[in-house]
Amino acid sequence: MSILSLVRSEVRQLHPYDAAEQVDDTIRLNANESPQISSIGNFRRPLNRYPEVRPQRLQSTLAKRFNCADDQILVTRGSSEAIDLIIRSFCHAGVDHIVTPTPAFSMYRHYATIQGAGVIEVRGLAEHDFAIDVGALLEACTETTKVLFVCSPNNPTGTPLPRADLLRLLDARKGSSAIVVDEAYIEFGRESSAVELLRAYPNLLVLRTLSKALGFAGARCGAVIGAQEIIACLSAVQAPYALATPVVECVEDALHERQLTVAAEAVDRVIVERSRLMQEIGRFNFVSKVWPSDANFFLVRVNDAIALVEHCKSHNILLRYFGGDLADCIRITVGSQSDNDTLLAALDRFGKG
């Protein structure tokens, strides 16, 4: 059952921006572009011309990488833009709301607040490695729950969502809510992508990014994958020419087979370093808990989180402190072997101080 009816009616009626026609090997006098070709940068496409409204070659390449059809994917400025597009498309301001576990990626709440949508947060099961409480998530849903976000592996806990739990969510909210699975860190874990469920579950949307495993955070490129009719609505909401020419070409290069091999090898090194770092940090007497993680980071509970963060900062090392329900915790990203050794040395000095 399609969830197209859940999309705001005004969004369903939107027509995509009618951009000036782009045809190769023509004299383009239809888009008010400058005839002057910039000498800055060494790009395959001239910067005096607008990029494609939607980068078709890049879209097709990412579709192959993420195992979906070309019309099931929208390339976005990181997965964060996809979150914004989804909430704006589904949620009426002051009427609808989203449901999300907590702790989780703060941008779900952020973009919902901007849209004027309500936010219902459901605490994760801290005593079970912050597992997402699927039963509590479903109990929190009402008839105005338009979007339900889950991040797997979750940020900042590193916890994956078991496939059985995801299926339970998809089945229970089949015609009532869009279920968004944020897979920003999936390459670092063992779970397969939820994209394989698209055919059976048209209420599923999957977020992917090139920021983490591929190491292209500075390019700001991600994607949202879902049913064709939903992707068409999101595309109508997205700004035209969303991805700049240098970004498109950078990402095209990042997706060459040689570069993908380099990225895969880097992921393997991170996984090895994650295991080493977690084991070493768990030995410090000021660390009371190291949670398991399927991401390129992990969460630890310490005696004095703020003091530890400040100590590391004084040694030019930045860690992530969240406060609130995680006031005694810090999140540590797995760096290079050298960076990790520097962190361990700083932690050793903290323990002896």
Q: Give residue-wise pLDDT tens across range 123-134.
A: 999 889 899 999
pLDDT band of residue 333 (cuts 50, 70, 90) is very high
DSSP class of residue 104 equals: -
Query: How many Cα atoms within 13 Å fall on the side-chain side of residue 301?
Result: 11
* 81 and 209 housed in the same domain: yes
167 and 211, same domain (yes or no):
yes
pLDDT digits (tens, 9 = 90+) for 174-207: 999 999 999 999 999 999 999 999 999 999 999 9
What does the pLDDT look like over 241-256, one tens digit per residue? Answer: 999 999 999 999 999 9
What count of other Cβ atoms lies within 10 Å of the Cβ of residue 184? 25
Asked if residue 239 and residue 177 are part of one domain, the reply reads yes
CA-closest candidate to residue 271, choices 292, 255, 285, 289: 292
Task: Choose between 239 and 43: higher pLDDT.
Answer: 239
- Residue where a domain stops, chosen among 228, 255, 282: 255
Q: Do 180 and 145 touch, CB atoms closer than 8 A?
A: no
For residues 145 and 242, membership in a common domain is answered with yes
* Burial zone of 218 (CB within 10 Å; 0-12 exposed, 13-18 middle, 19+ buried): exposed
User: 160: domain range?
Assistant: 4-255
Who's near 66: CB < 8 A, 6+ residues apart? 73, 193, 195, 206, 208, 223, 225
328 and 194 share one domain? no
Rounded Cα distance, 18 and 15, in Å: 8
pLDDT band for 31, please (50, 70, 90 cuts): confident
Are 117 and 149 in contact by the 8 Å Cβ rule? The answer is: no
Q: Nearest-CA neighbor of 244 among 28, 45, 59, 39? A: 45
Q: Is 309 exposed, middle or buried (0-12, 13-18, 19+ CB in 10 A)?
A: middle
Domain boundary among 207, 239, 255: 255
pLDDT at 26: 86
The per-residue pLDDT of the chain, averaged, comes to 95
Query: Do 242 and 307 fall into the same domain?
Result: no
- Same domain (yes/no): 333, 207: no
Asked if 249 and 303 sit in the same domain, the reply is no
Whether 90 and 204 share a structural domain? yes
How many Å apart are CA 159 and CA 179, to the nearest integer?
18
Rounded to whole angstroms, what are the CA distances from 186 to 24, 267, 306, 314, 345? 38, 11, 29, 33, 30
* Number of domains into which the chain is organized: 2
Q: What does the pLDDT read at residue 228? A: 97
The predicted structure's pLDDT at residue 336: 96
Q: Which pLDDT belongs to residue 33?
A: 84
Q: Per-residue pLDDT averaged across 319-346, rounded?
A: 96
CATH, residue 188:
3.40.640.10
Q: So what's the pLDDT on residue 34?
A: 81
pLDDT in tens, 52-77: 999 999 999 999 999 999 999 999 99
- Residues 209, 225 contacting (CB under 8 angstroms): no
266: domain CATH number is: 3.90.1150.10
Q: What is the DSSP letter of 131?
A: B
The DSSP call for residue 30 is S
Can you list the alpha helix ranges (DSSP code H) found in the chain?
A: 9-12, 56-66, 78-90, 107-115, 134-140, 163-172, 228-237, 245-254, 257-281, 305-314, 337-352
163 and 266 fall within a common domain:
no
Query: Residue 23: which pLDDT band, with cuts at 50, 70 and 90?
Result: confident
Could you tell me the two tokens for 204?
């599923």
Domain boundary among 255, 285, 318: 255
**pLDDT at residue 314 in the model:** 96
Q: Same domain for 193 and 264?
A: no
The strand pair at 73-76 and 145-151 is best described as unpaired
Of 28-37, 221-230, 253-262, 280-289, minimum mean pLDDT range? 28-37
Whether 29 shows a pLDDT value over 90: the answer reads no
Q: Dmax over Cα atoms in the chain, in whole Å?
A: 71
Q: Is the pLDDT of residue 30 over 90?
A: no
- Residue-wise pLDDT tens digits, 77-95: 999 999 999 999 999 999 9
pLDDT surpasses 90 at 38: no
Per-residue pLDDT tens over the stretch 257-285 = 999 999 999 999 999 999 999 999 999 99
Q: At what angle do helices 78-90 and 228-237 cross, to 10 degrees?
A: 100
Residues 55 and 129 in one domain: yes
